[in-house]
Amino acid sequence: MHSVSVNGASIPALGFGTFRMPGADVLRMVPYALNLGFRHIDTAQIYGNEAEVGEGLASSGVARGDVFLTTKVWVDHYRRDAFAASVNESLKKLKTDYVDLLLLHWPNDAVPLAEQIGALNEVKADGKARHIGVSNFNTALMAEAMALSDAPLVTNQVEYHPYLDQKPVVDAARKAGLSVTGYYAMADGAVFADSVLKDIAARNGKTVAQIVLRWMVQQNGVIALSKTVSEARAAENFAIFDFALSDADMAAMHGLARTDGRIVSPGGLAPVWDKSA
């Protein structure tokens, strides 16, 4: 496992995600993932499983200080007073007095961004979040958020997989000293049927899931989230640090990007996405 160092944060480059993971599976998989060696767990208020993540952390036997824990504030809680109360509730569920990273989950123009960023900074100043960032922001919103924030932002968590060219966001984040955390790495399962990816996986003696995750973490400043309810798949996903993809393989995977590659773009939440060059 390697880590991405950015603005004072050391973020394990491979995280275990819990999006759409029922509570019973979280209780089973979080301790399992931690005992495999995962040290980065990602959840969110809207996932409805923070309590199970907290229970899984507590029962894992892994020290809290050894785990990088991320959660996200939902858009309904962006007003200053509601924001702090929601974070307190998250911490109670997570059975901890701080998270390592707290993110704004989606843009919400019903609340001034200055108010959102101000609330994020207050939570950090109170010691309830070691680091702060954003999620699903385009480059313009990312720049605005950074300008408004007293504390440095450390990541923008966005959809990222071989079919979606995120070069504008990745380049802007690198230039500004931020990381990019990618979710939906398997493109809702589309990668598993891809002949290009199957060929690259076969030549490297790895699975398609492993080369996709490796493609992500091999990019400078990019963190990958993996999610599974299978113990065997979790072990497979974790075994990506004993090989490297060639420049040709990396380029071939970048070449799979297409203009209609985006999967996650909910109405009323999604910003105007950046166009690729």
Is the four-CA dihedral 88, 93, 98, 104 of positive or negative sign?
negative
Tell me which of 47, 160, 183, 184 is the catalytic residue.
47
Q: Is 47 a catalytic residue?
A: yes
pLDDT at 277 over 80: no
C-alpha pair distances (Å), 157 with each of 35, 166, 246: 25, 11, 26
Model confidence pLDDT, tens digit, residues 22-53: 999 999 999 999 999 999 999 999 999 999 99
Model confidence pLDDT, tens digit, residues 175-190: 999 999 999 999 999 9
pLDDT at 244 over 70: yes
Asked if 79 and 115 touch (Cβ cutoff 8 Å), the reply is yes
Asked if 204 and 160 touch (Cβ cutoff 8 Å), the reply is no
**Helices (DSSP H) in 134-273: which residue ranges?**
139-148, 167-176, 195-204, 208-217, 231-238, 247-254
Assign a CATH topology to domain 3-188+219-229: TIM Barrel (3.20.20)
Placement of tokens 């599976």 in the chain: 25
Report pTM: 0.97
Model confidence pLDDT, tens digit, residues 55-73: 999 999 999 999 999 999 9
Buried b (16+ CB within 10 A) or exposed e, 105-117: bbbbeebebeebb
Which of 32, 22, 12 is CA-nearest to residue 100?
12
Model confidence pLDDT, tens digit, residues 120-171: 999 999 999 999 999 999 999 999 999 999 999 999 999 999 999 999 999 9
Model confidence pLDDT, tens digit, residues 188-232: 999 999 999 999 999 999 999 999 999 999 999 999 999 999 999
Question: Quick one: tokens of 180?
Answer: 């990019």
Asked if 97 and 91 touch (Cβ cutoff 8 Å), the reply is yes
pLDDT at 261 over 70: yes
What count of residues does the chain have? 277
Asked if 91 and 61 touch (Cβ cutoff 8 Å), the reply is no
On whether 105 is known to bind a ligand per the annotation, the reply is yes
